A and B are shown apart, each in its own frame.
Chain A
Amino acid sequence: MTAVLALIALATIGTAAAAMTRRSLLHSVLLLTGSWVGVAAFYLWAGAEFAAFAQVLIYVGAISMALLFAVLLTRRSREDFAPGPASRGRALYAILAGAALAGVLLAAIARGSLAVAPSPVPTVTVRQLGGQLMGPHAASLLVVGVLLTVALIGAVVLAAGTGPGKPGDAP
């Protein structure tokens, strides 16, 4: 059981790391989508099918598309991608920060007593989820709905340009 887990973990981390280090934006986005699929797999492994389904639908379907659009819309000149000298120092600093963070977290996990009895994979039916959503979490569901619409409109307003000018010209 844990072998499958390890496999999924390695895949996801690998694609994520690759996404972060690729020079070309497109490749990064695609690799990232891959890692999202890894995550979905983990959900499946954990027994939360609906979550996996949602992950795949939203992240892989929608967000990756949005990212692609964003990348395409903003690639005016090639030179954007050449990492300036400043980024060298930044990359090093970033790696250091990430490693420190990971070290701390892993140390905490190692020392932590997260022993847990082996338990069967819990199953949750969509009926249960629906009941839950419509029951105690009805309010938050509505809020999320509102949040999404507002975000949509906000994005459109921001992206549609501030002035009467056509998109892409200098403000």
Chain B
Amino acid sequence: MEPRVAYLWLIPALPLLAAGVGCVAPRNGRRLAAGAAIAAMLGALVLSCFALHLALADPSAHLVYNFRWFDLGNGAVRLGLLLDPLNGLMCVMVSLVGLLIFIFSLGYMDADENFTRFFCFLSLFAAAMLCVVVANSLLLLFIGWELVGLASYLLIGFWFHRPAAAAAAKKAFITTRIGDLGFLLGLVWLYDTTGSLLLYDGGNGVLESHVLGDLATQVLAGGLAASTAIGLLIFCGAVGKSGQFPLHVWLPDAMEGPTPVSALIHAATMVAAGVFLMARIFPLAAADQGLAAAPVHVLTVVAGIGAVTALMGAAIAVAQHDLKRILAFSTVSQLGYMMLALGVGSWVAAIFHLLTHAFFKALLFLGAGSVIHAAHHEQDIRNLGGLRSPMRATYATFSVGMMALTGVPFVFSGFWSKEAILHAASEWNVSHLPLYAGLAGVVLTAFYMTRLLCEVFWGAPRSPAAAHAHESPAVMTVPLVVLAVGAVALGFLGTPAWPWLQSQLTGEAVPAHSLLEGGGLMALSIVLVATGLGAGWALYGRRLRATAGADDPLAAAAPRLFAFLGARMKLDELYAATVGRLNTFAAALAVILDRWVWGGAVGFLARFGEFTGSVNRGVDEGGLNAGFDSISERIRGAGRAYSRAQTGETHGYLRALAVAFVVLALLALLGGGQ
């Protein structure tokens, strides 16, 4: 139990405090909220650097600080904080990128009257994300995870008065919620089998050897290992949050939120949380590798989903017209790459790509933000164009980001991290499909980025808004420059020649090997990048589109394919048709069940009650009363008849007496006899 790790909780606490200040601050307390947010992020960044420094002191150690949340039954529910190189790096990345984006949004959101609320939500998001990063207990991670989902809901729906934003926010929350349910079930299953959710707990943490051992050996029906099932369930959460194949539909719609939000959440940090989670529980995911007989391995599924997402994201990005949606699909594709890297067994490559991606994708988004800001919220690339000369700084930094993303060799970080992934994919013994998907992705990425660049920056402005766009203020361009430097510098941390990052993350020294050793694959990828750039330039660079209405060269070449990709492969309609309709059917069923079956039963009982009531009244009045009445009537009649005998005639009485006496006597005489 490392005492210094105890102060680790300060990192998420500072932004949370800023969020508190933000929401308490009055609407016009703009300076207060923004100042608090930025100060908090700065503080978090400083603390993260300390933490990273502490973690790097002994890269293989997992410094842990566990504490009791509340007692339950004989034991207690315990949470914990964890510090190791992975956490340290993520903390630094999140807080650095967050800080830059906060500064950027000072300028971007300046005109918005809900400025304070924006910074409050941003700080809330940063706090939640940092909580996910520092968590040693999957439960604490899950709490941060859901709060990140809440923050993204609030931020996507920041301009809630626009129905589209509201719908996007709802879609994002629901889709990620579906993934989170899988995560919850995995969590609960893990908690039940191992009795604790702490990752590292002095030997009996979830990721520690002997617990993992029996998790892997515990075989369920169908030969599936318990760890596989749990791993897959947790992967559902990652799929939801990181926008992987089945649950990626919310990410493009999330672009409804302000651009700094897209940059921070839907490029750098939140979507990366899924990858971070899988990297965090990599030992658990890899636990079933040993079981040859197991029908499915977690990592194979991850690799498969990653490859599919990478390819699909890149393909759809080619046919989009909205500036931010192109970048969104590019993010989906890059996340696919990271998942692919995880799947093929090298979580270090995934994290390396995550870090580099965070910087250049944030750069691209902020660049797009400054473009949109300058062009009065015009996002359609067909209406932009010719922004190269008026917005020189944005153009320069944007092109640095574009080259980093496409993986222009040697200089840019994207190249090295993508190279590491492709290298890992090539060494994967299960199948080479992910490798081919990756390579295809490289080409497509290069193509759509050049298309974007040509459409937005080259040629002549195609709309009045684009015409008098002017360069964004310094407060927006300075973060761009810093990110551009990061996009370049970060690559050199993990080159094969000097694998500093890999050794820090894995904890043991990774042998440096010369560039040439994996040369073949590297050469192939360089060629592919070149072809992508060339094709993009050929189609969009040479003959620049003159007017907004001019149709897209690619659309002319393959109209139906272009339309299909433009419509995001019609996945939204597919989901609406299947899940949507199932949902409404279930709801209708529930209501019908309630009204007719249970309500009907109660109604029947009520009517049955009424029926018995009326029968009872009928029987009661018709049968009993009437019976009594008639009997009493008859008795009265008889009474009246007898009374006529009382004539008042004394003689009559005497006579009757005499006659009666005689009759009796006769009877006694004749009848008796004995």
Interface string of B634-674 (1 = CB under 8 A from A): 00000000000000000100010011011001101100000
Q: Can you offer 22 A-B residue contacts whose CB atoms are under 8 A?
A: A90-B651, A93-B655, A97-B655, A97-B658, A97-B659, A97-B662, A98-B658, A100-B658, A100-B662, A101-B658, A101-B661, A101-B662, A104-B662, A104-B665, A104-B666, A104-B669, A105-B665, A107-B669, A108-B665, A108-B668, A108-B669, A111-B669
- Tell me the interface secondary structure of chain A in the complex: helix
Distance in angstroms between the alpha carbons of A90 and B650 in the assembled complex: 13
Distance to closest chain A CB from B656 (angstroms):
10
Q: How far is the CA of A30 from the CA of B669 in the complex (A)?
A: 37
Q: Which residues of A contact B662 (CB under 8 A)?
A: 97, 100-101, 104
B240 CB to nearest A CB, Å: 113
| A-chain residues with CB within 8 Å of residue B659 when the two chains form the complex | 97
Shortest Cβ distance from B286 into chain A, in angstroms? 122
Q: How far is the CA of A111 from the CA of B662 in the complex (A)?
A: 16
Docked complex Cα distance between A101 and B661 (Å): 8
Task: Say whether chain B's binding surface is mostly helix, strand, loop, or mixed.
Answer: helix
Within 8 A of B (CB), among A113-158: none
Residues on B facing A (Cβ under 8 Å):
651, 655, 658-659, 661-662, 665-666, 668-669
Q: Tell me the bound Cα distance from A97 to B657 in angstroms.
A: 10
- Which residues of B lie under 8 Å from residue A105 when comparing CB positions? 665
List, in ascending order, chain A residues with CB within 8 A of B669's CB.
104, 107-108, 111
A13 to B36, CA, bound (A): 146
Residues of B within 8 A of A97 (CB): 655, 658-659, 662
Number of inter-chain CB pairs below 8 Å: 22
Chain A residue at minimum C-beta to C-beta distance from B657: A97
Closest-by-CB residue of B relative to A100 is B662
Query: Which chain A residue has the least Cβ–Cβ distance from B665?
Result: A104
Q: Which residues of chain A are within 8 angstroms of B651 by Cβ–Cβ distance?
A: 90
Q: Indicate with 1 or 0, residue by residue over A64-102, a CB within 8 angstroms of chain B CB atoms.
A: 000000000000000000000000001001000110110
Cβ distance A20 to chain B, nearest Cβ, rounded Å: 14
Q: Please give, as numbers and ranges, the residues of chain A lying within 8 Å of B661 by CB-CB distance.
A: 101
Instruction: For residue A84, give the distance in angstroms from its CB to the closest CB of chain B.
Output: 13
Question: Which interface class (under 10, 10 to 19, 20 to 34, 35 or more) fits A?
Answer: 10 to 19
Q: Kindly list chain A residues whose C-beta atoms are within 8 Å of the C-beta of B666.
A: 104
Shortest Cβ-Cβ A-B pairs, 8 listed: A97-B658, A104-B665, A100-B662, A104-B662, A101-B662, A108-B669, A101-B658, A104-B666
CA distance A97 to B666 in the complex (A): 14
CB distance from A86 to the nearest CB of B (A): 10
How far, in whole Å, are A108 and B659 apart by their CA atoms in the complex?
A: 16
Instruction: Write the nearest CB–CB distance from A69 to chain B, whole angstroms.
Output: 22
Distance of B243 from chain A, by nearest CB (Å) = 120
Q: How far is the CB of B180 from chain A (nearest CB, A)?
A: 108
Question: Across the interface, which residues of B come within 8 angstroms of A104, CB to CB?
Answer: 662, 665-666, 669
Give complex CA distance A90, B652 in Å: 10
Task: Give bound CA distance, A100 to B666, whole Å.
Answer: 10
A98 and B665 alpha carbons, distance in the complex (Å): 14
- State the CA gap A100–B655 with chains docked (Å): 12
Q: Which residue of B lies closest to A97 (CB)?
A: B658
Among A90, A100, A108, A111, the most chain B Cβ lie within 10 Å of the Cβ of: A100
Closest CB of chain B to A106's CB: distance in Å?
A: 11
CA distance A98 to B669 in the complex (A): 18
CA distance A84 to B391 in the complex (A): 154
CB distance from A153 to the nearest CB of B (A): 24
Q: Nearest chain-B residue to A105 (Cβ)?
A: B665
Given contacts A97-B659, A107-B669, A111-B669, 16 further A-B contacts (CB under 8 A): A90-B651, A97-B655, A97-B658, A97-B662, A98-B658, A100-B658, A101-B658, A101-B661, A101-B662, A104-B662, A104-B666, A104-B669, A105-B665, A108-B665, A108-B668, A108-B669
User: Chain B contacts of A98 at CB under 8 A?
Assistant: 658
| Cα-based distance from A168 to B594 in the complex (angstroms) | 96
| B655 CB, min distance to chain A CBs, angstroms | 6
How far is it, in angstroms, between the C-alpha of A93 and the C-alpha of B655 when the chains are bound? 9
The chain A residue with its CB closest to the CB of B668 is A108
Q: Which residue of B lies closest to A107 (CB)?
A: B669
Expressed in whole angstroms, the Cα–Cα distance for A98 and B658 within the complex equals: 8
A105 to B668 alpha-carbon distance, docked (Å): 11
What CA separation (Å) do A75 and B50 show in the bound complex?
Answer: 151
**Interchain CA distance A108-B651 in the complex, whole Å:** 26
- Cα separation A107 to B670 with both chains bound (whole Å): 11
- In chain A between 27 and 50, which residues have their CB closer than 8 angstroms to a CB of chain B? none
CA of A78 to CA of B478, assembled, Å = 158
Task: A111 to B665: give the CA distance in the assembly, Å.
Answer: 13
In Å, the complex CA distance between A143 and B608 comes to 71
Closest chain A residue, CB of each to CB of B655: A97
C-alpha spacing A97/B658, complex, angstroms: 7
CB neighbours (8 Å) of B658 from chain A are 97-98, 100-101
- Whole-angstrom CA separation of A101 from B663 in the bound complex: 9
List residues of chain B with CB within 8 A of the CB of A93. 655
Contacts of A108 on B, CB cut-off 8 Å?
665, 668-669
Q: What residues of A have a CB within 8 angstroms of the CB of B665 in the complex?
A: 104-105, 108
